[in-house]
Amino acid sequence: MSASRKKVAVAKELVPWWWTEIGQKELKGLEKAVRNRHINAGPVCEQLQRRLAELLAVPHVVLTTSGSAALLLSLLACGVGPGDEVILPAYTFIAAGHAAMLLGAMVRLVDVRPDRPLMDAGQIEAAITNRTRVIVAVHTDGMACDVAAINAVAARHGLKVVEDAAQAFASRGPDGMLGTLGDAGAFSMGITKLITTGEGGFVAAGNDQTHARLLKLRNHGVVAIADNVFDEFGFNFRFNDMLAGIGLAQVQRLPERIEAVKQVYRFYCRQLKGLHYLKMIDVRLADGELPLWSQAVCADREKVVAMLRDRGIEARRFHPPLADSRHLDAAGDFPCARFFAAHGLILPSGTDQPLENLHRTVEALHDIAAVVKTPIGPAAIRQRGRKL
């Protein structure tokens, strides 16, 4: 059976929330690395690092094992340690919170904006204490948070800015390429990202000093293990040439993958416009933002998810707010974050999601409109005595 016929057959059984293809180019990249005995971190990693640095227009990129490891390395490179505090948006994936905890730091949360799940820069200063070391600016789903405002706050207080661009590779904001505007930018190459090596990540470094620090941190505190005394902290966060071979093949397909996720988002925006219970979250394509996943807010989300599932369509709920993760010890009142956590929905997306799956999803969502009567509105929120 041909690849295309297989895809249609699977699509009739299940519409997955994410679909990406690993094909012959990726297999050839892997095979080439193995045949040339490039197994651990070596020349293929160096080639991929150079290519990623070119694409991001930064001096250096350092590959590592995951986006989570990239966040951990970024915080380490910025000097985060025991007793420090790291500021995060109240709605984001938990990886940055766990990275801070692993370093012995505490997490302080700032609510997100009511229109898009991005850190509200106007609330950051209220969260700063004399222990604050880093602000983590998270570009959720390729949407640009206000890095210029965040950098300005950081400069006033002598803080570092780490960009969590795990969901924002190749996405731009008003000030440039996301992940290149702070002191370090952490990216992911996980399976649900624009380019994937299964697992993997990298850090964009804007200067030689940060680059040198990252190289030592990911290698047990030394440049070359065989020739060094271990007198500085580090750990094994090295990538490998086999997966880098897959990454190089993925990068070759980057333009078509970028266009694919844009087309998925545009399709949903056209086809779902006017539904009373569901509204697409605004991704500013004209400004260069790239919608990795097609996301919406909807009323009666649990019912919607269940009805989609009954029709063989997988949709993904947004993560709960970080304040609900009690081990972070960062409780507080974050109404905007709770709104998105309660209503956010990721529709079937992906660089290779079949058009048939998108049509099935849209048809189902229109049918569901007859059952879900509650309209979705803006986050009706009051914070610090003022309406947003």
Each residue of 281-300: pLDDT tens digit? 999 999 999 999 999 999 99
Each residue of 232-285: pLDDT tens digit? 899 999 999 999 999 999 999 999 999 999 999 999 999 999 999 999 999 999
Count the helix, strand and coil residues of the chain and give each as a percent rounded to the nearest 5: 40, 15, 40
Separation CA 243–CA 246 (nearest Å): 5
Separation CA 317–CA 301 (nearest Å): 8
Each residue of 176-192: pLDDT tens digit? 999 999 999 999 999 99
CATH of domain 24-252: 3.40.640.10
- The mean pLDDT of the chain is 93
pLDDT above 60: residue 9: no
Instruction: Note the pLDDT of residue 12.
Output: 61
Instruction: Note the pLDDT of residue 379.
Output: 61
Whether 383 contacts 295, CB under 8 Å: no
Whether 239 contacts 43, CB under 8 Å: no
**Helix 67-77 and helix 208-217, axial crossing angle in degrees, nearest 10:** 120
Separation CA 169–CA 319 (nearest Å): 20
CATH of domain 3-19+254-387: 3.90.1150.10
Each residue of 91-112: pLDDT tens digit? 999 999 999 999 999 999 999 9
Domain positions in the chain: 3-19+254-387, 24-252
Indicate the length of the chain as a whole number: 388
pLDDT above 60: residue 381: no
Instruction: Note the pLDDT of residue 298.
Output: 97
User: Which amino acid appears at position 267 of this protein?
Assistant: F
Q: Is 163 in a helix, a strand, or coil?
A: strand
Strand residue runs (E) in 81-181: 85-89, 106-110, 132-138, 160-164, 172-173, 176-177
